[in-house]
Amino acid sequence: MAASLFSLRPARKEDLPYLSGYAAAEGMDALPGAEGVTVAVNDDDVPVGFLRVVREEGWPAHVSPVVTCAPWRGFGVGRALVEEALARTGELRLVARGSSVPFYRALGFGELPWDAIAPTVAADCDGCDLRGECGPVPLGKVHDGTDGPGPAVG
Ligand SMILES: CC(C)(COP(=O)(O)OP(=O)(O)OC[C@H]1O[C@@H](n2cnc3c(N)ncnc32)[C@H](O)[C@@H]1OP(=O)(O)O)[C@@H](O)C(=O)NCCC(=O)NCCS
């Protein structure tokens, strides 16, 4: 069972070098800290993926970003991280790279207008030289309460 390969827990400061490495491998900025970050860890408590929730006053929670390290892709890590965050927050919005839209579609996310995205999150794309190549798409999902129990967050 994929769920037994990893578990979820809140990120700690000592996880950040792993997480920043995974982010850098995807051309993403290093994380500002562990706040809002959940990690998926292997049996040795080494992070294999992470999801950061960004909170902006007056807006639903946003994902920025979710990353599974390359050798662990396809084992349900990304789904577990997103489903746990969705169950915890009740609603998630985000701007997906074009290449990750099929992942979010598989999780039931739908397309949103750009003005449904919190300004600080939308601003990440505004000055980006790679915007054309990336093809960002605003997406969101409201928790429907029907998810089964996922891996526990310790
Ligand atoms: C997107 C990403 C997080 C997916 O992580 P993952 O751990 O491999 O995803 P999962 O194994 O949990 O897959 C969940 C579902 O999405 C589907 N999926 C994942 N990537 C897919 C793709 N490229 N195309 C089609 N479906 C995809 C899987 O088939 C699976 O479907 P199922 O549960 O119905 O079988 C990972 O590929 C990644 O880190 N990419 C680079 C960073 C990135 O682009 N992040 C998103 C932008 S913030």
DSSP 3-state of 2? helix
Q: Ligand 1: which of 103, 104, 124, 133 to mutate, most ligand atoms within 8 Å of CB?
A: 103
Strands 91-96 and 137-142: antiparallel
Distance CA 91, CA 142 (A): 4
Q: Is the CB of 73 within 6 Å of ligand 1? A: yes
3-state secondary structure of 51: strand
| Range list of H helices, the chain | 16-25, 77-89, 101-106, 119-126, 131-134
Categorize the per-residue pLDDT at 129 as very low, low, confident or very high, splitting at 50, 70 and 90: confident
CB-ligand 1 contact for 68 (6 Å cutoff):
yes
Is 150 a residue whose pLDDT tops 60?
no
pLDDT by residue (tens digit) across 9-67? 999 999 999 999 999 999 898 999 999 999 999 999 999 999 999 999 999 999 999 99
- Binding site membership of 26 for ligand 1 (Cβ less than 6 Å): yes
Domains and CATH numbers, the chain: 2-142 (3.40.630.30)
